Amino acid sequence: MHAQNLLVELFVEELPPKALATLGAAFARALSDGLHAQGLLADDAQSTSFASPRRLAAHVTAVRTRAPDRDVAQKLMPVSVGFDADGKPTTALLKKLGVLGLDAGAAGQLRTEGEGKTAALFVDTVVAGVTLTDGLQRALADALAKLPIPRMMTYQLADGWSTVRFVRPAHGLVALHGADVVPVHILGLEAGRETHGHRFEAARDPVVLRDADAYAEQLAREGAVIASFDARRAAIERQLHEAATRAGDGLRPIDDPALLDEVTALVERPNVLLCRFDSEFLAVPQECLILTMKANQKYFPLLDACGRLSNSFLVVSNISPADPRAVIEGNERVVRPRLADARFFFDQDRRQRLDTRVQALDNVVYHAKLGSQAARMQRVRAIAVAIADGVDRALTPSVEQAATLAKADLLTDMVGEFPELQGTMGRYYALHDGAEPRVAQAIEEHYRPRFAGDALAADEVGLCVALADKLETLTGLWGIGERPSGDKDPFGLRRHALGVVRMLMERETLGTRWPLARLLAVAALSFQDVPSFTDPQHALQDFMFDRLSNLLRDQGYAAREVEAVLSLRPQTLADITHRLDAVRTFSALPEANALAAANKRVGNILRKSDAVAGTTLREELLCEPAEAVLMETLKDIAPRAQAAYRNGDYTIALKTVAALRSPVDAFFDAVMVNADDPALRANRLALLTELHAAMNQVADLACLAA
């Protein structure tokens, strides 16, 4: 059972670049897990993944040639079935032993567990450990089957008859345990020690691997390939910054991790080159040029210290010629028509005013049940205007204009070519048409936040339109039954809900003047003419509080704190964090645990009681000293806590309530709430009702009980 390091490589045609990093990590993890499950790995074994455009590989340390034998206790059957009344083995038992390769004599060596009817027969056997060849064969097949492959290919093997399915056609398999080949097979390939390096720059082909540990070093030296995805990514990142420094003027490459990952998956030995384009193209909005270079050519634009685009860009080449001028000139020649197309779209779009495109939105379908983009624009506008009226009527004209124009750039050539630029181009075109700057800014910002962590609209006009846009999306799609299910959320409703929650929490002007329920009611009102629409306000509010709960926990608040606050369904989201901070402060008080437990007890009593809502508390019926003291204390504390609550002093409100601990404890020690006398029972329940209301204005303290 000697342990050595193992190297497995599958050599394939070019893998999908956006999936390469995931495929590489998944292959190494699944292979290692498969070997571990069969007992072939030592306790200190570690795995390393390799992934390049034409290979998936895994290096696993401390792999045994054979797994240890295992003691196995196998249950056979009940004793009553295995032996007859005379204690002799039955036919059923003898057959079972025969299947296991044991003779009749083994019946006397069986072990019994349990007593009476539960007594069962067990046989103790030793299972031989799996060999590396058999174990690796199984682990390799399982690893390929579990790969998160975006789309499978079916291709024919060299024999002309057999077909197999994999992400890309495979042409080579390496399996080395130390320096020895492990004779496994997969996808019609037999394992060996030969692999291939760079298509054009390998010093030797094939590369004959000495042993498992020589893989990365030999591929780099003989094959001109950096096999590790992470090492190749780091090399590209380093070269990008070095090239930007050489370009001067404080330039830096655009920060785009997704682009960096994709380019890493396209090259085997990166070589970063500095290129330039004609500066006249800088008259086109830089977002258009940047997207053109990134999306179409996988280039890295260079920005100056102020974030402005320069006419320099970086190319990550897969070849390293002695004279790179031909490569540089080729890329500069390729990018020119792309930039020219962007300039053409920009010039053409500006020939037609944005407001003249609005009417044509009637010809663009938004959703079969919700009508056109024009109908959607009208709903967004109505909601946005209502929001603006509730915040500051001076905003209303700008908000109305911005909401009217917000979707018009969907009909421009530039957005047709690059949908990612919707909103951005609307701002440029609105400014060109002479629109008010904050209106133009709102057209761009109304899509924010586009993703988790994205900035909110900076201006109040954009904020009103952004909130209206997301409310219309949520209410409309939810109202026709298009709700998220499991991990499926095709319309991004979770993201939209989180956006609404963040705007109401982080922008106090909106959050304090617009309770959530009122906002949802305004949004639902705009759909009153849609036949298939069912008002979803209650379900949608639950959905949004669920999003809010996740957000708050991500921000570091404890689950109990979040539950205590949100269980009351507070409608003013702008003060949610103030409530949470107050609850956290309250939880640190010595009275907190006892009060939380008492509050939980009060809530349980009231839920189970037959008390009539609105029953008036009568002081003359408070016959026990403890209940009279509680009432007097409550009469003193409740108004002060209420005043602090109304002023938004939630911490003071909860600290004030903390003074109830002693009289509450005394009440439960001395008073029987469910007295036999109905009048006394009703009066005590009325007292507890007032106590419960006074304690739970900021949060439901029962949620804090251990």
Closest CA to 503 of 467, 472, 555, 454: 467
Closest CA to 541 of 566, 512, 507: 566
Instruction: Report which DSSP code applies to 13.
Output: S
Residue 103 resides in a domain? yes
Of 108-112, 227-231, 459-463, the range with the lowest mean pLDDT is 108-112
Domain closes at, from 296, 320, 349 = 349
Q: What percent of the chain has pLDDT over 70?
A: 99
Spatial distance between the Cα atoms of 44 and 250, rounded to a whole number of angstroms: 47
Read off the pLDDT of residues 256-294 as tens digits, 9 standing for 90 and up: 999 999 999 999 999 999 999 999 999 999 999 999 999
Residue 29 resides in a domain? yes
| Helix (H) or strand (E) segment spanning residue 312 | strand 309-317
> How many independent structural domains does the chain possess?
5
Residue 235 resides in a domain? yes
Assess whether 545 and 647 both reside in one domain.
Answer: no
Q: Is 695 exposed, middle or buried (0-12, 13-18, 19+ CB in 10 A)?
A: buried
Of 29-43, 118-132, 556-570, the range with the lowest mean pLDDT is 118-132
**Given a cut of 80, is residue 206 above it in pLDDT?**
yes
Spatial distance between the Cα atoms of 593 and 590, rounded to a whole number of angstroms: 7
Domain closes at, from 111, 127, 143 = 127
State the helix-helix crossing angle for 424-432 and 437-445, rounded to 10 degrees. Answer: 160
Domain closes at, from 349, 381, 398 = 349
Spatial distance between the Cα atoms of 675 and 660, rounded to a whole number of angstroms: 23
Residue 606: band (very low, low, confident or very high) from pLDDT cuts 50, 70, 90: confident
Instruction: Dump the DSSP string for 61-116.
Output: EEEESBPPPEEEEEEEEEHHHHB-TTSPBPHHHHHHHHHTT--GGGGGG-EEESSG
Assess whether 103 and 57 both reside in one domain.
Answer: no
Instruction: Report which DSSP code applies to 192.
Output: B
Residues listed for the chain: 706
The CATH number of the domain where 217 resides is what?
3.30.70
Assess whether 503 and 459 both reside in one domain.
Answer: yes
**Both tokens assigned to 675:** 């007295």
Contact 511, 505 (CB under 8 A): yes
**Given a cut of 80, is residue 527 above it in pLDDT?**
yes
Read off the pLDDT of residues 413-442 as tens digits, 9 standing for 90 and up: 999 999 999 999 999 999 999 999 999 999
**Given a cut of 90, is residue 124 above it in pLDDT?**
no
Q: What is the mean pLDDT of residues 690-696?
A: 87
Q: Which residues contact 245 (CB under 8 A, 6 or more apart)?
A: 251
Residue 121 resides in a domain? yes
Q: How many CB atoms lie within 10 A of CB 353?
A: 16
Closest CA to 346 of 283, 420, 422: 283
Q: What is the mean pLDDT of the chain?
A: 92
3-state class (DSSP) for residue 429? helix
What pLDDT does residue 328 have? 96
Assess whether 340 and 380 both reside in one domain.
Answer: no
Which residues share a beta bridge with 172? 11
**Given a cut of 70, is residue 683 above it in pLDDT?**
yes
Assess whether 79 and 28 both reside in one domain.
Answer: no
**Given a cut of 80, is residue 348 above it in pLDDT?**
yes
The identity of residue 150, as a single letter, is P
**Both tokens assigned to 342:** 């962007």
The identity of residue 80, as a single letter, is S
Spatial distance between the Cα atoms of 329 and 356, rounded to a whole number of angstroms: 42
What pLDDT does residue 614 have? 57
Contact 91, 107 (CB under 8 A): no
Which residues share a beta bridge with 73? 124
Residue 568 resides in a domain? no
Residue 566 resides in a domain? no
Assess whether 687 and 580 both reside in one domain.
Answer: yes
Contact 641, 568 (CB under 8 A): no
Contact 78, 96 (CB under 8 A): no
Residue 567 resides in a domain? no
Q: What is the mean pLDDT of residues 386-400?
A: 95
Assess whether 550 and 629 both reside in one domain.
Answer: no
Q: 523-541: buried (b, 16+ CB within 10 Å) or exposed (e) per residue?
A: bbebbeebeebebbbeebb
Residue 611: band (very low, low, confident or very high) from pLDDT cuts 50, 70, 90: low
Residue 690: band (very low, low, confident or very high) from pLDDT cuts 50, 70, 90: confident
Contact 2, 66 (CB under 8 A): no
Spatial distance between the Cα atoms of 557 and 135, rounded to a whole number of angstroms: 47
The CATH number of the domain where 696 resides is what?
1.10.730.10
Q: What is the mean pLDDT of residues 201-214?
A: 95
Residue 595: band (very low, low, confident or very high) from pLDDT cuts 50, 70, 90: confident
**Given a cut of 60, is residue 521 above it in pLDDT?**
yes
Assess whether 444 and 386 both reside in one domain.
Answer: yes
Q: Which residues contact 450 (CB under 8 A, 6 or more apart)?
A: none
Contact 470, 360 (CB under 8 A): no
Where do we find the tokens 């009980």? 705
Instruction: Dump the DSSP string for 566-626.
Output: HTT--S-GGGHHHHHHHHHHHHTSTTHHHHHHHHHHHHHHHHHS-PPTTPPP-GGG--SHH
**For residue 676, what are the domain limits?**
576-704
C-alpha distances (whole Å) from 90 to each of 97, 107, 114, 461 are 11, 10, 20, 87
Read off the pLDDT of residues 163-200 as tens digits, 9 standing for 90 and up: 999 999 999 999 999 999 999 999 999 999 999 999 99
248: left (phi over 0), alpha (psi -120 to 50) or beta: left
What pLDDT does residue 365 have? 94
Residue 561 resides in a domain? no
Q: Is 363 exposed, middle or buried (0-12, 13-18, 19+ CB in 10 A)?
A: exposed
Q: What is the mean pLDDT of residues 66-91?
A: 85
**Given a cut of 60, is residue 341 above it in pLDDT?**
yes
Read off the pLDDT of residues 458-476 as tens digits, 9 standing for 90 and up: 999 999 999 999 999 999 9
Assess whether 30 and 82 both reside in one domain.
Answer: no
Residue 613: band (very low, low, confident or very high) from pLDDT cuts 50, 70, 90: low
**Given a cut of 80, is residue 105 above it in pLDDT?**
no
The CATH number of the domain where 533 resides is what?
1.10.3210
State the helix-helix crossing angle for 493-506 and 516-525, rounded to 10 degrees. Answer: 130
Assess whether 359 and 434 both reside in one domain.
Answer: yes
591: left (phi over 0), alpha (psi -120 to 50) or beta: alpha
C-alpha distances (whole Å) from 450 to each of 39, 466, 500, 502 are 47, 10, 11, 12
C-alpha distances (whole Å) from 142 to each of 35, 236, 335 are 10, 33, 44
Query: Whole-angstrom distance between the N-terminal and C-terminal Cα of the chain?
Result: 52
- CA torsion 285-291-297-301 (nearest 10°) is 70
49 or 623: which carries more pLDDT confidence?
49
Assess whether 29 and 122 both reside in one domain.
Answer: no
Spatial distance between the Cα atoms of 266 and 483, rounded to a whole number of angstroms: 38
Alpha helices in 207-324 (DSSP H): 215-223, 229-247, 257-264, 286-291, 297
**Given a cut of 60, is residue 1 above it in pLDDT?**
no
Contact 114, 96 (CB under 8 A): no
Q: Which residues contact 77 (CB under 8 A, 6 or more apart)?
A: 92, 93, 96, 120, 121
Assess whether 61 and 90 both reside in one domain.
Answer: no
Quote the pTM value. 0.81
